[in-house]
Amino acid sequence: MDLQTLTFLIVGITFAVYIGIAFWARASSTDEFYVAGGDIHPVANGMATAADWMSAASFISMAGLIAFFGYGGSVFLMGWTGGYVLLALLLAPYLRKHGSFTVPGFISDRYYSKTARVVAVACLIIASVTYVIGQMKGIGVAFSRFLEVDYDQGLMIGMVIVFIYAVMGGMKGITYTQIAQYVIMIIAYTIPAIFISFMLTGNPIPQIGLGGTMEDGTFLLDKLDQIMGELGFKEYTTNKRLSLLNMFFYTLSLMIGTAGLPHVIMRFFTVPSVKAARSSAGWALVFIAVLYTTAPAVAAMARLNLVATIDQPGKENNLAYADRPSWFRNWEKTGLLKFEDKNNDGLIQYTGRGDNEMVKVDRDIMVLANPEIANLPNWVIALVAAGGLAAALSTAAGLLLAISSSISRDLLKGVFRPDISEKEELLASRIAMAVSIIVAGYFGFNPPDFAAGTVALAFGLAASSIFPALMMGIFSSTMNKEGAISGMLAGIGVTLLYVFQHKGIMFIQSTSYLGGMEPNWFFGIEPNAFGAIGAIVNFGVAYLVSKRYADIPLGVKDMITRIRQP
């Protein structure tokens, strides 16, 4: 059976399973649609949270970015796991104790203000839509490769499928579906890693293989450093992302963004108790860590295999363009891989210098191309495709649910139309889903960064707005509504200004302003890492403003005491 047929078959079977489960557990009332009745076991909830969490950014994009950043890519690994510590220690137990359905629900109760709710909803929507743009990039890459069309067509097909998928099921469907998706994803991610680790180092455990030796007795990472050096790339294990200061803030931004994103926090409303909220976060991280500790091995080994295939160290000549393998041809069709024979010798030079002829190697193709580059059997390649699509679709669905519930529940029912009927609420949430997909898809045609980079921007926006408001809401018994609202606005405002100044207004490159400024002018910190600065501004402004206004009402003080109790 050829690769494309096999891919269709495996993707088809896995999707039939997800859709079957979604139908079987289809949501009937609105409460179930949102939080599935609140009776989900911590391990099951952890697994579903992990599936929800590990998006196209984690599955398709992250290892590719690490493969090219080397040590600098560690910001994603630490940032997207360390946030769970903050979530488990600082937020989840208290939000569960309070028992609100949504993040803006908590903010509006704690800050006794509808304005606070509206501001929180706006921040969440901005962050979540940016996040979905990142997913759309991943979905576009995956669909374009497996349907063998160009990226734009792949994205269009992906949008339609995401829409059908998200509108069909509520959280109940999604919780069970996501457990199935987690299983598929983790199998799809680890199997090629195990194969490749075994082939290169003789050790099937990728986490150990990465620190192991190759056939000639040298350590794999040393070999990689050496080859990178010879080809004019930066040394893999020490290559920093701009600077250590930038890496510090990048990691911080991703961590506190993790603890501020609604679709993850919402998961902790569905566990039976405060105790379960704490351990759920732990279980989620266990399931996430399986992928996240494998990713560095995937990254380093993919990079090694890529240069070994093209530059062929040890042989006299580089790979001839005419002899390029089928994965090379297939990815060329998507427009995400480009070769230009600068010196007309018919050979492919892939270097970190000016004579580089691989003019485009989109980072987001690395994980999907990895099993093909390593010549793994076709069923493994097809499985990776199924896993990548599951990752992108499950997170897109979780986010769309968060966006739609923000609009229908927090804005319509909570503020503008308290008398809305259940049916109208459901309709409003579905319209919101459709609009979000179209908006995100539109930006997906010209994404501001690679999938993981775009998602990092979304985390920065959540970090700068939601996390400080939640944390002060729990740990300060004096923070008032004036402080919290101005903090959120200042935090997200500063972050958006910095991001748009670099990437263009609404990510339209031609509208980037202050062009005379040096890139990353603020202490060398890049826009993707700026959420941490935004959060500091948020805390600072909130503190200063809160001093000038009245103390919080007694009822709210009681509420704070209550959520802190065992």
Partner 1 sequence: MNKHQDYWKENIFLIIKCLSIWFISSYGFSIILVDHLNVIRLGGYKLGFWFAQQGSIYTFVVLIFYYAHKMGIIDRKYRIND
Which candidate, 452, 281, 285, 461, places its Cα nearest to that of 363?
452
User: 337: part of which helix (H) or strand (E)?
Assistant: strand 337-338
> How many residues in the shown chain lie near partner 1 by CB under 8 A?
45
476 binds partner 1 (CB under 8 A): no
Question: Which of the stretches 8-16, 112-120, 172-180, 215-223 binds partner 1 when contact is defined by CB under 8 A?
Answer: 215-223
Stretch that binds partner 1, among 240-248, 368-376, 390-398, 448-456 (CB under 8 A): 240-248
Task: Name residues contacting partner 1, limited to 14-33 (CB under 8 A).
Answer: none
Q: Which stretch binds partner 1 (CB under 8 A): 83-91, 148-156, 374-382, 424-432?
A: 83-91
How far is it, in rounded angstroms, from Cα 472 to Cα 547? 14
For partner 1, the binding residues in 179-208 under the rule CB under 8 A are: 207-208
Binding status of residue 292 toward partner 1 by CB under 8 A: yes
Nearer of residues 201 and 330 to partner 1, judged by Cβ: 201
44-73 binders of partner 1 (CB under 8 A): 66, 71
Backbone angle region of 148, left / alpha / beta, with phi > 0 → left and psi within -120 to 50 → alpha: left
The CB-of-52 to partner 1 minimum distance in angstroms stands at 17
DSSP SS3 for 381:
helix
| Residue from 1, 89, 506, 544 binding partner 1 (CB under 8 A) | 89
Closer Cβ to partner 1, 183 or 289, answer by number: 289
Q: Quick one: which segment of 32-40, 279-287, 317-325, 338-346 binds partner 1 (CB under 8 A)? A: 279-287
Question: Taking CB under 8 A as the rule, does residue 293 contact partner 1?
Answer: yes
Contact of 78 with 251, CB cutoff 8 Å: yes
**Phi and psi at residue 133, to the nearest 5°:** -60, -45
Considering the complex, state which of residue 366 and residue 403 has its C-beta at the smaller distance from partner 1.
366
Residue 278 found at the interface with partner 1 (CB under 8 A): yes
Options 96-104, 211-219, 322-330, 443-451: segment touching partner 1 (CB under 8 A): 211-219
The only residue of 43, 90, 126, 157 in contact with partner 1, by rule CB under 8 A? 90
CB 457, CB 254: distance < 8 Å? no
For partner 1, the closer CB: 342 or 562: 562
Query: Nearest-5° angle of CA 235, CA 239, CA 241?
Result: 155
Can residue 561 be called a binding residue for partner 1 (CB under 8 A)? yes
- Residue 275 within binding range of partner 1, rule CB under 8 A: yes
Q: Are 402 and 174 in contact (CB under 8 A)?
A: no
Among 17, 31, 44, 74, binds partner 1 (CB under 8 A): 74
Report phi then psi at 222, rounded to 5: -65, -40
Q: H-helix or E-strand containing 361?
A: strand 360-361
Q: Is the dihedral of CA 479, 482, 483, 484 positive or negative?
A: positive
Q: State yes or no: residue 564 binds partner 1 (CB under 8 A).
A: yes
Distance CA 439, CA 195 (A): 40
Of positions 37, 272, 282, 335, contacts partner 1 by CB under 8 A: 282
* Contact status, residue 138 vs residue 56, Cβ threshold 8 Å: yes
455 near partner 1, judged by CB under 8 A:
no
304/314 Cα distance (integer angstroms): 14
Is 88 near partner 1 (CB under 8 A)?
Answer: yes
Q: Which of 126, 157, 161, 286 binds partner 1 (CB under 8 A)?
A: 286
Smallest separation, CB 481 to partner 1 (Å): 23
Q: Which one of 17, 19, 44, 78 is in contact with partner 1 (CB under 8 A)? A: 78
Q: Which residues of 213-249 are buried (b: 16+ CB within 10 A; e: fewer)?
A: bbeeeeebbebbbebbeebebbebeebebeeeebbeb
Instruction: Please give, one letter per residue, the 3-state secondary structure of 59-101.
Output: HHHHHHHHHHHHHHHHHHHHHHHHHHHHHHHHHHHHHHHHCCC
State yes or no: residue 351 binds partner 1 (CB under 8 A): no
Q: How far is the CB of 114 from partner 1 (least distance, A)?
A: 30
Could you say whether residue 82 binds partner 1 (CB under 8 A)? yes
- What dihedral do alpha carbons 495, 500, 501, 502 form, nearest 10°? 100
Q: Does 226 bind partner 1 (CB under 8 A)?
A: no
Given 12, 160, 222, 377, the residue binding partner 1 (CB under 8 A): 222
Say how many residues make up the chain.
Answer: 566
260 binds partner 1 (CB under 8 A): no
Q: What DSSP character marks residue 27?
A: -
- State the minimum distance, in angstroms, from the CB of residue 197 to partner 1: 12
Q: State phi, psi for 360 to the nearest 5 degrees.
A: -140, 120
Residues making contact with partner 1 (CB under 8 A) = 66, 71, 74, 77-78, 81-82, 84-85, 88-90, 93, 207-208, 210-213, 219-222, 237-238, 244, 247-248, 251-252, 275, 278-279, 281-282, 285-286, 289, 292-293, 296, 561, 564-566
